[in-house]
Structure 1
Amino acid sequence: MAGLRDQLRTGRLSSADALAAQWAQARVADAACQSVVRWHESGAPADRATAGPLSGIALAHKDIFAIAGQQAGCGRGQPPDPVAERDADVLTRLAQAGATNLAALSMAELACGSTGESPWSPRPINAVSIDAVVGGSSGGSAAAVAAGLCYASLGTDTAGSVRIPAATCGLIGFKPTWDALSRQGVHPLAPSLDTVGVIARTVADAALVYACAAQAVAPELTDAAATPHGIAEWLSAARPLRVATHLPPAAPDDDVISALQAFIARVSDDHDVHAVDLPQLDALSRLAHVVLHVEAAAAHRALLQDPDAQLGASARAVLIPGAAMPEAWYHDALAQRGARLHAFVDTVFGDADVLLVPALPRPVPDWDTVTPGAPGFDVHQLLALHRWMPFVNYLGLPAIVFPIGHDRRGRPVTAQAVARPHAEAVLLAFAHRYDRGLASLSIPSPSARTSSATLR
């Protein structure tokens, strides 16, 4: 995105030509990744009147955000919400920053599921390998960004639904603090866990989109977003940090643990690194699942009670248990949250700025191994996709996943960095230092008038 912004700023490329090139590329890319469920415009866009940090930049987003005059599909054949009267707040803010919204992208039904598959839309294709799973629920967003359909995409993360797909596709998946981005106009799954996040090719791109979409961010990040190279320069000026690391003794896959150990050794050259225990992780994950199931069932009570609703297997697996759980379990999970958060912050972040843990404890699996009913289905592979995710949502913490290497099949191995609430700036700066993103992915131009420009 930085290269394109530079071409636009210097006048080497007009906004109209840049958007026309991105529009044409999006059509080509969708044929490869199968992620678009609805296009928002019918032709090459003209120059936009709105000037801002994202002018001339095309984005596409998960089909869970309200758009005036449309119904968000939310991964269903029958949209759960009425026609929207206005855009979701985050989309409005991106438009005010100059961004163009090309399309709505596929997702797991009602945002339920660790994979991006929905019975109502084609299965998204992973640019890493056609056999490799695209995580969920924001699977269309990850597939689209990886395929070069768009530079970045907003998704939602309730128990890892931005971070899991990003990790499976070798991308940046950024989940800010729970209340950092507005959820107005976002179809709910579990409101006290739901968080709007960003999937992008680089940390700098994720930071720019976040800064433009947020209601309030660190002043230095806001100022940086307003200047041509401000985000990259600000991120590159990061100071040494205190980094806590945790690798579970029951060990992830050898390829994963080896890559993580090598990465931690590299981090120790730049930062003060020490290992920590996380004995509370299992309890936090259990509490997160109670909240998820109960709130999801409450949010979709009408669908559960409708005999003609035709809910898919993943949606039923999330909603039905919540309808049966004792109310006391839910109230207890909520009552513990504040104390659990304070204890976690005191224990982990008392002497650390960043916590570094695995993102996926196993290599990126094939679709066949995580699809119930498939010949190679392995429930442990499916559960592993979200093993390291829900505790972050329960505590409302910011987190970012980013690729650090590859396994023996060439699939990405990804780390996850977590920080205290509202420490997004620290988290982004840390991840940027080790960014191995897809900035070199070129977007071809559609005509001779832009043939000399490579949009990056």
Structure 2
Amino acid sequence: MSLDHPKSLRQAAEAIRSGVISSQEMTLAALSRAKASRSRLNAFIDIDEEHALACAKAADDMRTSDASLGPLHGVPLAHKDMFDGEGRLTGCGSLIRAGHRAKTTSTVLARLGTAGSFSIGRLNMSEFAMGPTGHNHHHGRVLNPIDPDRITGGSSSGSGSAVGAGVVLAALGSDTGGSIRIPAACCGTVGIKPTQGRVSRHGAMPLSFSQDCIGPLAGSVEDAWLILSLISGPDGLDPTCLDAPLRPLLDNIEGVRIGLAKGLFQQTLSDDVGEAVQTVGRLLDRDGVQVADAPFADLEAVTELANAVAMTEAAAVHFDSMRDAPDQFGSQVRMRLSQGLAIPGPLYVRALQIRSVMLARFLEESFGACDVLILPTMPFIAPLDRDVDVGAGSRMNEVISAMTALTRPFSYLGLPVVTVPVAASREGLPIALQLVARPWREDLAASVARHLERALALSRFTAKAAT
């Protein structure tokens, strides 16, 4: 891979820091890829060439001075269209906010800026982050870089597509019920949903204030972990963001106990996904890692609670706009918000009240004898677009419900999850697994994910998509 399109964030930053390539040269190459991808992927809502090149020139000027350089100095990225940057547009994939200019900068963008990175544009997303398929009523659907007939997943659709295609090395997304993990799974990238409260949400579009998480999508576990380490930490602007140190990744995972869902989902998984779960179990066992068939709590019940909380809180966020300008919402988002408005208040409060009880029960039942749980991100490969089109009727609802059945519970419980591709289907599409850990133990989930990534050599999805 050429120096203007490096393989990793560290490689990119080192090339710029050493003067082998300038930030302006790397940025021009990224802008060229972004422009070329617009008709093929529709991953970008906006490409800001002027801003990106100004930032790149400033990075090059700083490199020649005595200033200390951040770990991502001069590296161009792109992020989901929901993070405020002072004086810049943040549309949230919507019509209502299309002209909104932020007065402040979100904490996550500010921290990446301190690390030396900048954005080349705003990435497409499901309108107001409401939709797991990646469709957008106003900006059109984002195409999967591996198979354009398949969905990208949502709501961080542009992030999954842009990273999966190699346009940028990493991107920020948000996850309320699977919106980082599902696009990562569909597009063959790594995604991390951190523990609730790990990353500040200041300046980020709210959807469900008790479940929203911000995290990275990247081409490797190492790159995703680097982004997570840069954006994590307490923030006085977000009182829900806690001071819980992020532990380093483990070089050796032999002492990590793995709970594998070997039998629980066999009736609902596609053959390819079921085989991937079994293959991973055999690989870990071969490598001397303790693997057990983990008992799983009732995820279906937790999914219903997660949905009740998310939809009620989303309806509260958009209550005024739904009253004053309902026609400015896409039809599917308007329908989901209407459903949220109809959820009884006592049901919502009850769902919040029993959250801690459900978490305690889940930790006791599922983590009693293991440190990391492994289960599929989705029970099947990325669905065909026609199967989730509005004309698909009940088939659409069935597929969408199944897509989020294994992701929503961990949003409700606030647990950290790493999604990593582990196999290719018969169609050559990625199959991804979720690695779930106890609160604040992202390091364990990511260490196991990195071990699998290295053992299985699964860089091929990004490489294939970038060609």
TM above 0.5, yes or no, is yes
1:370 counterpart = 2:391: no
Residue of 414, 432, 439 corresponding to 1:414: 432
Q: Taking CA–CA contacts closer than 8 Å with sequence separation of 6 or more, which of the two structures ends up with the larger relative contact order? A: 1
1:329 CA displacement:
0.4
1:134 counterpart = 2:152: yes
Q: Name the counterpart of 1:4.
A: 12
Distance across 2 between alignment mates of 1:28 and 1:359: 30
Q: Name the counterpart of 2:269.
A: 252
Distance across 2 between alignment mates of 1:437 and 1:65: 30
Contact 1:235 1:432 in 2 (8 A): no
Q: Name the counterpart of 2:179.
A: 161
Please give the root-mean-square deviation of Cα atoms over the aligned residues, in Å. Answer: 2.4
Contact 1:359 1:414 in 2 (8 A): yes
Q: Name the counterpart of 1:225.
A: none
1:393 counterpart = 2:411: yes
Q: Calculate the TM-score normalised by the size of structure 1.
A: 0.89
Residue of 16, 21, 30 corresponding to 1:13: 21
Q: Name the counterpart of 2:74.
A: 56
For 1:285, what is the secondary structure of its paired residue?
A: helix
Q: Name the counterpart of 1:27.
A: 35
Q: Name the counterpart of 1:284.
A: 302
1:387 CA displacement:
1.3
Correspondence list, 1:204-215, <5 A? 204-215=222-233
Where does structure 1 lack aligned partners over 5 or more consecutive residues? Answer: 222-233, 444-454
Distance across 2 between alignment mates of 1:273 and 1:84: 48
Residues 441 and 284 from structure 1, CA distance in 2 versus in 1: closer, same or farther, beyond 3 angstroms?
closer
Residues 81 and 342 from structure 1, CA distance in 2 versus in 1: closer, same or farther, beyond 3 angstroms?
farther
1:46 CA displacement:
1.1
Contact 2:233 2:245 in 1 (8 A): no
Q: Greater CA deviation, 372-381 or 85-94?
A: 372-381
Q: Name the counterpart of 1:446.
A: none
Q: Name the counterpart of 1:302.
A: 320
Where does structure 2 lack aligned partners over 5 or more consecutive residues? Answer: 1-7, 63-67, 235-243
1:197 counterpart = 2:215: yes
Residues 376 and 150 from structure 1, CA distance in 2 versus in 1: closer, same or farther, beyond 3 angstroms?
farther
1:438 counterpart = 2:449: no
Distance across 2 between alignment mates of 1:337 and 1:14: 50
Residue of 57, 75, 78 corresponding to 1:46: 57
Task: Give percent identity, aligned residues only.
Answer: 33
1:86 CA displacement:
1.1
Distance across 1 between alignment mates of 2:461 and 2:424: 18
What is the number of equivalent residue pairs in this alignment? 433
One-letter code aligned to 1:252: L
Q: Name the counterpart of 2:398.
A: 380
Residues 52 and 198 from structure 1, CA distance in 2 versus in 1: closer, same or farther, beyond 3 angstroms?
same
Contact 1:177 1:396 in 2 (8 A): yes
For 2:174, what is the secondary structure of its paired residue?
A: strand
Distance across 1 between alignment mates of 2:118 and 2:325: 39
Deviations 1:293-352 (A, max 9, x none): 111111110122124543223312321111111111011111101111112112222221
1:85 CA displacement:
1.1
One-letter code aligned to 1:367: D
Q: Name the counterpart of 2:278.
A: 261
Q: Calculate the TM-score normalised by the size of structure 2.
A: 0.87
Residue of 188, 197, 205 corresponding to 1:179: 197
Q: Name the counterpart of 1:336.
A: 354
Distance across 2 between alignment mates of 1:56 and 1:101: 10
For 2:391, what is the secondary structure of its paired residue?
A: coil
Q: Name the counterpart of 1:357.
A: 375
Q: Greater CA deviation, 63-72 or 40-49?
A: 40-49
Contact 1:29 1:148 in 2 (8 A): no
Q: Greater CA deviation, 415-424 or 81-90?
A: 81-90
